[in-house]
Amino acid sequence: MDTKQAVVRHVKGLTFVGKATSNHWVAIDSSTNSEESPAAASPIELVLLALGSCTASDVVYVLQKKRLRFHGLEVHLTGERRDEHPRVYTKIHLEFVFHGDGLPQKDLEQAIELSQTKYCPVSAMIGKGTEITYTYKVTS
């Protein structure tokens, strides 16, 4: 069993810093007061970033294994949250934007599907209570 550890430290107000097993600090800020400007991404924004980076890593890895050349990948995420507490995501849509020429649709679809159904642990956890959908497009 793989065990990870993390620590979160209070800085001030609703600003925190955290680090996990990789030993890299991340700033986190839950400020919602209009007089205070958030110093970092909020915890709920980090959930979207975790999902996007997890699935993007999988997709890039699969495409590299297939020896497909592309210039870049962006994942645009849109999350819809409940109005009542806890304000969890009810739907998340991912749009994969591949930059490159002549990329076979079949390989792109397979890479995304493998990430969503087999490899991405963040998607697996979030997907238990949230509807996750995706689309993709290719640009030059």
Percent of the chain with pLDDT over 70: 98
Q: What topology does CATH give the domain 1-40?
A: N-terminal domain of TfIIb (2.20.25)
Superfamily of domain 43-139, CATH level 4: K homology (KH) domain (3.30.300.20)
Q: What is the pLDDT of residue 35?
A: 67
Per-residue 3-state assignment (H helix, E strand, C coil) for the chain: CCCCCEEEEEEECCEEEEEECCCCEEEEECCCCCCCCCCCCCHHHHHHHHHHHHHHHHHHHHHHHCCCCCCEEEEEEEEEECCCCCCCEEEEEEEEEEECCCCCHHHHHHHHHHHHHHHCHHHHHHCCCCEEEEEEEEEC
Q: What is the pLDDT of residue 127?
A: 96
Question: pLDDT tens across 114-138, in order?
Answer: 999 999 999 999 999 999 999 999 9
pLDDT band for 37, please (50, 70, 90 cuts): confident
